[in-house]
Structure 1
Amino acid sequence: MNLALWIAAGLLAAVALAGGISKTFVPKEKLAAVHGGGWTESAGVPFVKTLGILELLAALGLILPALLGVAPVMVPVTAVCWVLLMVGAMITHGRRGEFGFVLLNLTYLALAAFVAWGRFGPGSFTG
């Protein structure tokens, strides 16, 4: 169980890192031109950058607290936050008719829910 939770958290951290880097450092116009990035056309630059920073923090929060043994409860808390972020992403992509991205976000949501459940419950770092 522990290995599966680490793998799920690592995959989510990689996704969050990639998304966070692109939203934080790539100009909005370039993001809008990429498949799946059209939603940025109607979003303000501060909003896109804020999402990017939140994703970078999520990448850190899914791994570092457990790795360093400092506030490991932040791992499942971060996973719950990622679930909420994916709900928003699913709504955004659903409104745009991008159902492939809705399914992708649903996959990320399921992984995050697994990490939250596992780290709050049977795979808790405090147990």
Structure 2
Amino acid sequence: MNVAYWIVAGVLAVFNLYGGGVKVIRTREQLRPMMAWVDRTPMPAVRAIGSVEVLGGIGLILPPLTGIAPWLALAAAIGFVLLQLGATAVHLNLGDRRVALNLALVATAAVTGWLATSWL
């Protein structure tokens, strides 16, 4: 279970660290080609979502690695499930039916959360 957690959580963390970092650093014009929803979302909200993704990615790795408050890994995984369910709803409301990646991330975050319960 421990190895499985690190593999799944590592993939999810890297994905969210990159995606969140991009949202925090890049401008609306730079984000537009890969994220059409940024046109309808205020940039402070985009930056906040990116910050949540970065903090969640750190939360998946750092607490179990250090042994300090390992329950935060479970909280981060649950947060990612909620975040991606919200992202799926946003995509569908905008008429974008390409939500396979969001649903895969929901499943990955759910598995990560289940594996994180081994710390508790």
TM over 0.5: yes
1:7 maps to what in 2?
A: 7
* Distance in 2 (alpha carbons) for counterparts of 1:88 and 1:26: 22
* Distance in 1 (alpha carbons) for counterparts of 2:18 and 2:96: 20
- Show structure 1 runs of 4+ deviating over 3 A: none
Aligned letter for 1:89?
A
Question: 1:100-115 counterparts in 2 under 5 A?
Answer: 100=98, 102-115=99-112
Equivalent residues of 1:62, 1:75 under 8 A apart: yes
1:17 maps to what in 2?
A: 17
**What's the CA shift for 1:64?**
0.4
Percent of pairs with identical residues: 39
* Distance in 2 (alpha carbons) for counterparts of 1:8 and 1:94: 26
Root mean square deviation, CA, Å: 1.1
Question: 1:90-109 counterparts in 2 under 5 A?
Answer: 90-100=88-98, 102-109=99-106
**What's the CA shift for 1:96?**
2.5
1:76 maps to what in 2?
A: 74
**What's the CA shift for 1:99?**
2.4
Equivalent residues of 1:29, 1:41 under 8 A apart: no
* Distance in 2 (alpha carbons) for counterparts of 1:20 and 1:64: 17
Question: 1:58-77 counterparts in 2 under 5 A?
Answer: 58-77=56-75
* Distance in 2 (alpha carbons) for counterparts of 1:84 and 1:107: 13
Equivalent of residue 119 in structure 2, options 98, 122, 125: 125
**What's the CA shift for 1:98?**
2.6
Aligned letter for 1:51?
I
Q: Structure 1 residue 116 and structure 2 residue 110: aligned?
A: no
Deviation per CA, 1:74-106: give whole Å up to 9, x if none: 001100000000001101111233322x11011
Structure 1 unmatched ranges of 5 or more: none
Q: Structure 1 residue 27 and structure 2 residue 21: aligned?
A: no
**What's the CA shift for 1:118?**
2.0
- SS of residue in 2 equivalent to 1:56: helix
- SS of residue in 2 equivalent to 1:47: helix
- SS of residue in 2 equivalent to 1:55: helix
